[in-house]
Amino acid sequence: MLEISPSLHIPEDELHFSFARSSGPGGQNVNKVASKALLRWNPGHSSVLPPPVLERLLKLFPTRITTTGDIVITSELTRDQRVNIEDCREKLAQLIRAALVVPKKRRATKPSRGAQRRRLQDKRENAERKQRRQLPPGGGD
């Protein structure tokens, strides 16, 4: 079980791991050992996420989702496969925790009368400043 929150757990049989050779330093070990972990999980086929959370998850992380609807997470943090598996699990948990947060609704506001007055005054002063920079008519010959 992957614990996301006290009330939300993902069953282990929904998480599918595969392994590949890791890039980067490691000498002969890199060529022999498949320590890079790839985690695939299909949130659409999972019954643990409520529909609003699923919708937010898909909206927040569209680049992590394949055409088949799987979320793919990789980790090649260390040369130890078990550590990379745990890193993938933690990354998935963080994505889902981010989707659990309900965003605040934006309330439309408008500038105060004083702010509007200041903005227009600044515009007038700026226009006058630029007018003063121009050469007088018939001058500058």
Phi/psi of residue 66, nearest 5 degrees: -85, 175
DSSP string, 98-117: HHHSPPPPPPP----HHHHH
Structure tokens at 140: 């500058």
Flag whether pLDDT at 73 surpasses 70: yes
**What is the CATH code of the structural domain delimited by 13-100?**
3.30.160.20
Flag whether pLDDT at 134 surpasses 90: no
- Give the type of residue at 11: P
Query: Following CA atoms 9, 50, 57, 8 in sequence, which dihedral angle do they give, to the nearest 10 degrees?
Result: -20
Confidence bin at 32 (pLDDT 50/70/90): confident
The average confidence (pLDDT) of the chain is 87
pLDDT, one tens digit per residue, over 79-114 is 888 999 999 999 999 998 999 899 899 899 999 999
- The predicted structure's pLDDT at residue 44: 85
Confidence bin at 136 (pLDDT 50/70/90): confident
Residue 102 neighbours by CB under 8 Å, 6+ apart: 52
Confidence bin at 19 (pLDDT 50/70/90): confident
Query: Of how many residues is the chain composed?
Result: 141
Flag whether pLDDT at 25 surpasses 80: no
Tell me which of 51-55, 98-102, 136-140 is least confident. 136-140
Q: Say if residue 43 is exposed, middle or buried (CB neighbours under 10 Å; 0-12, 13-18, 19+).
A: buried
Flag whether pLDDT at 31 surpasses 80: no
- The predicted structure's pLDDT at residue 79: 81
Nearest to 48 by CA among 98, 95, 86, 14: 14
Task: Give the SS3 label for residue 63.
Answer: helix
Average pLDDT over residues 56-68: 89
Flag whether pLDDT at 127 surpasses 90: yes
Reported as type and span, the H/E element at residue 81 is helix 81-100
